[in-house]
Copies of this chain bind each other. A is one copy, B any other.
Amino acid sequence: MPETSQLSINLATVRARYEIGEILDAVARHGIPAVAPWRDQIASIGLKETSKRIRDLGLKVSGVCRGGMFPAADKAAYEANLEDNVRAVEEAAELDAACLVLVVGGIPEGSRDLAGARRQVRDGIAWLEERASAAGVRLAIEPLHPMYCADRAVVNTMGHALDICEDVGGNVGVACDVYHVWWDPDLDAQIRRAGKAKLHAFHICDWLRDTRDLLLDRGMMGDGVIDIRGIREKVEAEGFDGFHEVEIFSRDDWWKRDIDEVLSTCIERHKSCC
């Protein structure tokens, strides 16, 4: 059974009703040791203030969400995307985050060039890797579920993400989110291929059988079909000893609830279902 000392809360899980300061206080109050903030949440009070509050509360940072979003329709936009990723690396460094999560980006609006978008992603990660290494920041490519291939991420499997890791070298690994990868018949083999060295993050939530929205209807652990414990055991069999980060986008359910109820439930379900 996992311990609460292994738990992290991705701040998207409670973002709808609460600002970052309240969330950090609540997480610490519940005895949860780590968080993963989003960049807009960091920006809302500033990087220095975020860093200070997290430090003062004794919290760890399991990841910063997010870098990536590389593909663009023209050179200027692509270069702007790269520059924005440098800012993300700086934020991850300042927060001493375990990794900067990369949601790599979809196909540029109006394009059907999936292969081209994938080339931009590969090249962008290779470019960023040097800067991240210099800043002591580990990059974590997060393969997103294939239903996000058009608009959010053209990297959709652990296998594809690991191909890029091997291609670009350096300290680039993967963020394994059970929501995105649970269906993949190749998952076990790719977790073994990743090994401890490339497993930079592990995210949990559940896939609801009657999912009603492509983006904002993720389930609490235990409410869906994913064998989270089975996947967690496989990741840990490789030596992964990072946090189990709960990331739930749930517009019509968990986002409407009180933060103490959400966090208590995360703690309880993490123990009973993961």
Q: Chain A: residues with CB nearer than 8 A to chain B?
A: 106-107, 109, 111-114, 118, 145-147, 149-151, 154, 156-157, 159-160, 182-185, 207-212, 214, 224-227
Contact = CB atoms under 8 A, between A and B. Distances in A.
- 4 shortest interchain CB distances as A-B pairs: A149-B183, A146-B183, A147-B147, A150-B225
A159 B159 CA distance: 13
Given A114-B183, A150-B225, A214-B214, 20 more contacts: A107-B209, A112-B226, A113-B227, A114-B182, A114-B225, A114-B227, A145-B147, A146-B146, A146-B183, A147-B211, A147-B214, A149-B183, A150-B207, A150-B211, A154-B183, A156-B184, A156-B185, A157-B185, A159-B185, A212-B214
11 contacts: A109-B209, A113-B227, A114-B227, A146-B147, A149-B183, A149-B207, A150-B209, A150-B211, A151-B209, A157-B185, A212-B214
Given A160-B185, A185-B160, A214-B214, A112 B146 contact: no
A139 to B, nearest CB: 20
B146 A210 contact: no
Contacts of A227: 112-114
Q: Tell me the interface secondary structure of chain A in the complex.
A: loop
Contacts of A209: 106-107, 109, 150-151
Copies in the complex: 2
Contacts of A183: 114, 146, 149, 154, 156
Nearest to A160: B185
Contacts of A118: 185
B210 A151 contact: yes
Nearest to A209: B150
Nearest to A113: B227
Contacts of A146: 145-147, 183-184
Nearest to A154: B183
A159 B157 CA distance: 13
Nearest to A229: B112
A156 B146 CA distance: 10
Nearest to A210: B151
A254 B183 CA distance: 30
